[in-house]
Structure 1
Amino acid sequence: MSAPGSSPSPRPCWLLLRGLARECRHWGEVPARLAARLDAEVRCLDLPGNGRYHRQQSAVSVSCMLEQIRQRARPHPRVHLLGLSMGGMIAAQWAMRYPREVAGLVLINSSSALSPPWQRLRPTALPALLRALLLPPAQREALVYRLTCARREERHATLQDWTRYAGDCPVWRSNLLRQLAAAARYRLPAGALPVAPLILCSRHDRLVDYRCSLALARHWHTRAHVHYWAGHDLPHDDPDWLLSELADYVNKQEKSAFRR
């Protein structure tokens, strides 16, 4: 509660970033539930080439993607960043390049050049992704689902939604290749993070080896929190676990700030 006569504290703002050829709607129920759980403003940002910006050309570097995204988010200072896969690379780049703008950092199933290429993209995944470029939307999304999701209970309904998204906002093949190139070339900037990160990963990720997240955690002297049955799309597979981890992270941040 604010002191008498003082202005109420602003609600925390979370910015959510997805990965390759995915858009805001692929977060599913997570944004609304996160906003309610943490009493926060939650905004999802589409990359150029994806979602509402699918007619724009994707950048070929994570640094350029960051600058494009940051321009849209500029009005709100001190944000919490939540990035999945390539979205995590953009979030990490943001925190290290503009440390005063970032109050929290959460990476899910992300990677960097700390890990070898065959872990950053599993050898069995690349042919599947390239094959997906040639498939019609319904078959392509079914392939992506098999590659990224472990939970099967709502597969039919989820694929109906994903196929609709692909029809509404089709990702150009050239943009998917540009995004793949940007992710493959990504290197962590030198320097320290401005905040303690939360590193989340899925033990049974069929797209990115979970050891990539372990490498990030070692690099930043923290530990990765491992989900033991989810796939690459952890927000889809177990949103309850994810939201619990995010709430714990915020609670620890608040306790640390109080002690200071």
Structure 2
Amino acid sequence: MSTWILLRGLTREQAHWGFFPDLLRQALPPGTLMLTPDLPGNGTLWQSRSPSTVQGMVDHSRQALRDAGHLPPYHVLAMSLGAMVTVDWATRHPEELSVAILISTSLRPFSPFWQRLRPRQYGRILHLLSSHPTDLAWEQAIMAMTTCHPANPQANVAIWVAARRSHPVSVGNAWRQLMAAARYLAPAKPPAVPMLLLNGQGDQLVHPDCSQALAQAWQLPLITHPTAGHDLPLDAGPWVVSQVQAWLAQRPQ
């Protein structure tokens, strides 16, 4: 039986996966264990202090999994900041990861800051931070920034709003997560873990070239959806599942 770990991004939590974990679980062998742990400061851990480094997030996640009785090796599928956590995990503890699927990620030193957060979003983000919008308006704005054609948008926004009200991320934790992501420096050479990159050509938050730069630097396979945005599992969940299935099928058993 394999254990899958799904990790979300900056200030996001397990609820933001929506219906994607069920889609993936149905496509994997019976008995697969799927876990969607939150990073400290988010979701069920919203009252915890977020580490100010990606390395600290890895250390917490590893210990929490072991404390819960979930031992490696793990299959990891991760987005954005979660993908950075996965890269550091694979770099320092490669024996603990069987495979890693990185979605919509960007890493120093392979991409400049204006590609890692696209300038077209600076004004929208500043407006959100300064205007104190309602929970609904906030989550609708996040969906507009991160998706192009989301599945079940009204249902997913409702889930996101409920998560925001139940597990509010503090300003301090959001800032620490942002700084951790901005400061993280990936190794020049790829970790010794098989990796697949997925992204969307329609990503309005992180330039698609960021995944391309990483693929070239580390000689990794990259598959790009022609129209999906940053939140690839929400825009194209079945497509993500099919790409993961195909990649796993061609790997030596």
1:167 aligns with 2:159: no
Aligned equivalent of 2:126, options 130, 134, 142: 130
Question: What percent of counterpart residues are identical?
Answer: 36
Cα gap change, 1:88 to 1:139, in 2 (>3 Å)? same
CA–CA distance in structure 2, aligned partners of residues 194 and 121 of structure 1: 28
1:101 aligns with 2:96: yes
| Greater length-normalized contact order (CA 8 Å, ≥ 6 residues apart) | 2
Alignment match, 2:113 = 117
Unmatched runs of 5 consecutive residues or more in structure 1 = 1-10
Alignment match, 2:55 = 63
Per-residue CA deviation, residues 169-212 of structure 1 (Å, 9 max, x unaligned), is 11112211211111111111354422221000111101101111
1:76 aligns with 2:68: no
1:48 aligns with 2:43: no
Contact 1:96 1:191 in 2 (8 A): no
Alignment match, 2:213 = 215
CA–CA distance in structure 2, aligned partners of residues 53 and 88 of structure 1: 19
Q: Which amino acid aligns with 2:224?
A: V
The offset of 1:155, in angstroms, is 2.2
CA–CA distance in structure 1, aligned partners of residues 150 and 12 of structure 2: 19
Unmatched runs of 5 consecutive residues or more in structure 2 = none
Give the 5 Å matches for 1:223-238: 223-238=221-236
Contact 2:50 2:173 in 1 (8 A): yes
Give the 3-state SS of the residue equivalent to 1:95 in structure 2: helix
| Superposition CA RMSD, Å | 1.4
Equivalent residue pairs, number? 245
Cα gap change, 1:152 to 1:219, in 2 (>3 Å)? closer
Alignment match, 1:6 = none
Aligned equivalent of 2:5, options 7, 15, 18: 15
Give the 3-state SS of the residue equivalent to 1:226 in structure 2: strand
1:206 aligns with 2:181: no
The offset of 1:33, in angstroms, is 2.2
CA–CA distance in structure 2, aligned partners of residues 202 and 156 of structure 1: 22
Contact 1:214 1:223 in 2 (8 A): no
Cα gap change, 1:50 to 1:130, in 2 (>3 Å)? farther
Contact 2:116 2:207 in 1 (8 A): yes
